[in-house]
Amino acid sequence: MTTKIFIDGEAGTTGLQIRDKLAGRPGVELVSLPTALRKDAGAKRELLGQVDLTILCLPDEAAKEAAKLIDEMGAKAPRVIDASSAHRVAPGWVYGFPEMTAGQAQRVRDARKVTNPGCHATGAIALLRPLTEAGLIARDFAVSIGSISGYSGGGKSMIEAYESGKAPAFEHYGLALEHKHMAEICQYSGLTRRPIFVPSVAKFRQGMLVSVPLALDDLPGRPSGADLRAALRRHYGQGYIRVVAESRDRIEPESLNGTNELEIHVFANEARRQATLIVKFDNLGKGASGAAVQNLELMLGL
């Protein structure tokens, strides 16, 4: 049986990578609209009625319009994965982070509408959700999150700025502390207190590090770094996410590029009772296209 898939916005960075991951895959047929008809609602509705699943790789407002069109199709509507930030905390959408908590992968399998996590949020939630569930971080704890990403996550204008040499080597941004990923971090991290989140971007194309520093004596039960590492390992087990044993004191962001893998590192200084938790992954892989394909595989049983 062939599964028909329409990538709405296949010419963008995420859409192109999803297409590359699915191209030539047995049992999958990718269908497209001619360029001249990509904004034609009637043509899009007709195509949506012929496919099993669509992936929205669109700006937020366009994704909302596409989702409304799909809702209006009723029983004839395809299943949908939204790779934009338009529906990440919206009612009726399943959050597409299968490893987040027990039962989440099954919720993705059963869903009609799945919303992909944001890249920064993927890293933050991967660290925080297991530890709030285990009671090792209090839900009202004051958490700070730092994140550095390759410039490819910023879209066409940022990519052009970096690749033309106009952008700086490094910059913090979102310093009004209202980054669009905050809503999903607040909703899915297990925290009841809004964390402080400071993102940054640097002059490398893709890759990402997300970090959470912790004073161990301020945590419930005063755990060790080994306790945190063990809780994270119990949560994730086997799969795309793995907890790494540390034998170094530095980390770079690019070695997982081109994969859907995510590494969790726990760097601890027991004498000082301090730790830093760091996640490494590809912001265009597990942070975007890889996550979309993982969710698609669950939803369609591929």
| pLDDT mean over 137-148 | 98
Residue type, 251: I
One domain for residues 124 and 272: yes
pLDDT in tens, 236-248: 988 899 999 877 8
| pLDDT mean over 145-161 | 92
| Catalytic annotation, residues | 119
Structural domains of the chain, count: 2
One domain for residues 62 and 123: no
Of 152, 242, 157, give the one whose Cα is nearest residue 201. 152
**In angstroms, what CA-CA distances link 41 with 30, 64, 68?**
19, 13, 11
- 22's CB contacts (< 8 A; 6+ apart) are 5, 28, 30, 293, 296
One domain for residues 152 and 250: yes
The boundaries of the domain holding residue 59 are 3-117+288-300
One domain for residues 139 and 278: yes
- 269's CB contacts (< 8 A; 6+ apart) are 275
pLDDT in tens, 199-222: 999 999 999 999 999 999 999 999
pLDDT band at 39 (very low <50, low <70, confident <90, very high): confident
One domain for residues 81 and 151: no
One domain for residues 249 and 132: yes
**In angstroms, what CA-CA distances link 164 with 118, 156, 169?**
26, 12, 12
CATH of the domain at 240: 3.30.360.10
Of 46, 88, 43, give the one whose Cα is nearest residue 63. 88
One domain for residues 113 and 124: no
One domain for residues 127 and 103: no
CATH of the domain at 11: 3.40.50.720
Which pLDDT value is given to residue 248?
Answer: 80
pLDDT in tens, 155-177: 888 999 999 999 999 999 999 99
pLDDT band at 5 (very low <50, low <70, confident <90, very high): very high
250-284 as b/e: b if 16+ CB within 10 A: ebebeebbeebbbbbbbbbeeeebebbbbbbbbbb
One domain for residues 294 and 173: no
Residue type, 134: A
One domain for residues 170 and 271: yes
